[in-house]
Structure 1
C-alpha cells in the first residue's frame, strides 16, 4: 500500500474516515486514539524531565517516555496494518460463492484481520500501565493530561476489542475464535477498569482542589 494513513493531516484522516470507503475504519480509528493516549503519557514525562523538584525520579520518567513512545509508534503502525488486513478479506468475499476455495480463503483472511485489533488491545494495555506509573511520578500540573490519556486509551481498548470480536464471530473454527476472544477479553476486563480508576482518581483530586 503506497498511501500511509498516518501521514494524512488530521482533517484529511477524518474526511477519509467519514467517507464511503472501507479503510480507514473503526480499527484504524481505535489505533490512532490509542496512539494519542500514549502521546499524552510522553507529554507528561517530557514536561517533568529537567525540573529540579523531580530530579529523584528523572531517570524513571525518561524510561517511561521511551516506553510510551514505543507504544505510540507501534499503534501508528497498527493503523496501517489494520487497513492492509482488509484487502485480503475483501478479495476473499469477492470470490464466487460456488468456488470450492472460497470458504478457506475467507477463514484465513478473517483470522488475519483479527490480529491487528488484537495487537492494538495489547499495546493499549501497555499504555494504561505506563500512564499509571507516569501519574505517580510526573509533575502535578500534568495530571489532567495523564487522565485524558487514560480515557483515550480506554476508548481505544473498547473500540479495538469490537474489531476483534466482529472478525472472530465469522470464523468457522470456533475453538480458534474462542482462544482469540479469551485473550482479548482477559486484557479488556483487567485494563479498562484500571484506566477508568486512574482517570477518576485524577479528576477527584482536581475537583477537590476547588472545594
Structure 2
C-alpha cells in the first residue's frame, strides 16, 4: 500500500509541508526514476561497456535522492520561524521593530532552502540525461519522466525563492537570490525540455 501521509498533510490546511517540500519531493522522485533506469541497465550484457559509468551515476543519484528527502523536512523547519515571526505582536513600536527583525532573519533560511532544492534537483538532470542516452532502452521513458519531475522541482522551488525574496529589506541579497533562481530555472528548464523531447522521439 502506498504511504500517503505526506500527500495528506500537503492537502491539509497546515502551513507545512507546502510548495517547497512538494518541490523537493518531486526532485527525489526524479532521482529515483533515473536510478531505476540505471539499475535496469547494470548487469545486462548489452550495456557491459557502460556499466562502470552507470554505477558511478547510481552512486551520485543515491546521494542526491537522500539530500532531496532531507530538504523536504528542512523546508518545513525553515518556514516555521517565518510563520512564527508573522504572528508576533506589533502593537507598539518596539514590538513592530522586533517583528520586522525576526521576519528578515527568518526570510534568509526560507529563501536558502528552496535555492538548495533547485541546485540539487538540477544535478539530477545530469544523470537522467546520461542514462536516457546510454542506459536501458526499455526504461528510456522513465528517464523522460525523471526530466519532467526535475523540471517541476526546480520551477516549483523557484516560486518560493521569489515570494520570500520579495519581502527582504536587503535589496542586494534579494537581487542575488532572484538572479540565481532565474538562472537555475532557465538552464534546467531548457535541459529538461531537450531531454524530454529526445525521449519522446526515441520511444515514439
Which of 56, 60, 63 is equivalent to 2:56?
A: 63
Write out aligned runs for 1:1-211 (5 A).
10-97=3-90, 98=92, 99=95, 100-207=97-204
Q: Which segments of 5 or more consecutive residues in structure 2 lack a partner in the other structure?
A: none
* TM superposition shift of 1:10: 3.4
TM value normalised by structure 1: 0.92
SS of match in other structure, 1:119: helix
C-alpha distance after superposition, 1:118-169 (max 9, x if no partner)? 0000011101111111112201111000000000111111101001111101
CA drift at 1:20: 0.7
Per the TM alignment, residue 111 of structure 1 is displaced from its structure 2 partner at its CA by 1.6
- Over residues 92-113 of structure 1, what are the superposed CA-to-partner deviations in whole Å (9 max), with x where a residue is unaligned? 1122123122211110101211
Q: What CA RMSD, in Å, does the superposition of the two structures yield over aligned residues?
A: 1.0
CA distance in 1, matches of 2:201, 2:131: 18
TM-score (normalizing by structure 2): 0.95
Q: Name the residue aligned to 1:5.
A: none
In structure 1, C-alpha distance between the alignment counterparts of 2:199 and 2:191, rounded to whole Å: 12
Q: Separation in 1 of the partners of 2:134 and 2:58?
A: 12
Q: Please list the CA deviations of residues 35-83 of structure 1 after superposition, one character each: whole Å capped at 9, or x if unmatched.
A: 0011011000001000011111100000001111111110000000000
Structure 1: 5+ residue stretches without partners: 1-8
